[in-house]
Amino acid sequence: MRMPTLDDHRRARAIDLAAQIYALHEAGRSYHEQMQALSNVTGQSVSSADVDGAFGCMSAEDWAQDLLLLSVSVPSDLRDEELVEMVGHICAVDTPEWLQQWMLRCVERATGCDEVSDIIYYPRDVFGDSAHDELTPAEIVAEAKKRRRRVLVTPPPDFKGVRGRRTRR
């Protein structure tokens, strides 16, 4: 499986800033300067809402690395075997949260399916029954490929003959 690469210096700085933000957030103190610095280091616009969403849901370390990975392009040439391996890790929850998020973005991009996380975590909502609760990683990838995002393009209206046409009264 291909692993994303992060600059060690940027990663250490982002983790340190995220930890500072979490500590200040928990203490009810201002963290605007640290949030701006984290935005600069990660290349992401980090807001107070982002801090609220991450705090309590993931560690500062995972959050910082996830923010960094948002700037890393995901591979566009993943093979099915790699996708199945990634989904297997996501389902087994045997990797850090930041890596799971990156793998999920990879699978979404490779399959073109925006519902991958729902297929993995909420199959009853997707399929409407419990028959799909125990899908294998290969079945999840196959299902995601069947549910590719479809872009519908409506052609412009045909105005031939409309110009200059006068209506009689």
Domains of the chain, by residue range, sit at 8-69, 80-146
Query: For residue 124, what pLDDT is reported?
Result: 92
Q: What type of residue is 28?
A: G
One-letter identity of residue 73: S
pLDDT of residue 88: 96
User: Has this prediction a pTM greater than 0.85?
Assistant: no
Three-state DSSP state, 99: helix
Q: Are 21 and 50 in contact (CB under 8 A)?
A: no
Res 132: pLDDT: 85
pLDDT block averages, 10 residues each, the chain of length 169: 87 97 97 97 95 93 94 88 96 91 93 92 90 91 85 65 53
pLDDT at 1: 75
Spatial distance between the Cα atoms of 123 and 125, rounded to a whole number of angstroms: 5
How many other C-beta atoms are found inside a 10 Å radius of the C-beta of residue 34? 21
> Residue 152: what pLDDT?
58
Q: How far apart are CA 137 and CA 156, in angstroms?
A: 41
